[in-house]
Amino acid sequence: AVWMTQSPSSFSASVGDRVNINCRAGQFVSHYLAWYQQRPGRAPKLLVFGASTLQSGVPSRFGGSGSGTNFTLTIDHLQSEDFATYYCQQYYTYPPTFGQGTRVEVK
Amino acid sequence: QLPLQESGPGLVRPSETLSLTCTVSDGSISSSSFYWGWIRQAPGEKLEWIGTLFFGGSTYFNPSLKSRLSMSVDTSKKQLSLTLRSVTASDTAVYYCARLMYDASGYNWPEIWGQGTAVTVSS
For A55-73, what is each residue's pLDDT tens digit? 999 999 999 999 999 999 9
Q: What is the residue-averaged pLDDT of chain B?
A: 95
Kindly state the average pLDDT of the residues A11-24: 97
Nearest CA in chain B to A87: B47
Query: Cα dist. B97→A18, A39, B5, B38, B94 in Å?
Result: 32, 17, 8, 4, 10
Q: What is the pLDDT of residues B14-53, one digit of tens each?
A: 999 999 999 999 889 989 999 999 999 999 999 999 999 9
Backbone phi, then psi, for B29, in 5-degree steps?
-65, -20
Sign of CA dihedral A22, A23, A27, A33: negative
Judge: B63–A95 Cβ closer than 8 Å, yes or no: yes
Whether B113 contacts chain A with CB within 8 A:
yes
Whether B54 contacts chain A with CB within 8 A:
no
Kindly state the average pLDDT of the residues A91-102: 98
Q: Which helix (H) or strand (E) holds B71?
A: strand B69-74
* pLDDT at residue B27 in the model: 83
**Nearest of B114, B78, B93, B73 to residue B18 by alpha carbon:** B93
* pLDDT at residue A41 in the model: 85
Nearest CA in chain A to B37: A96
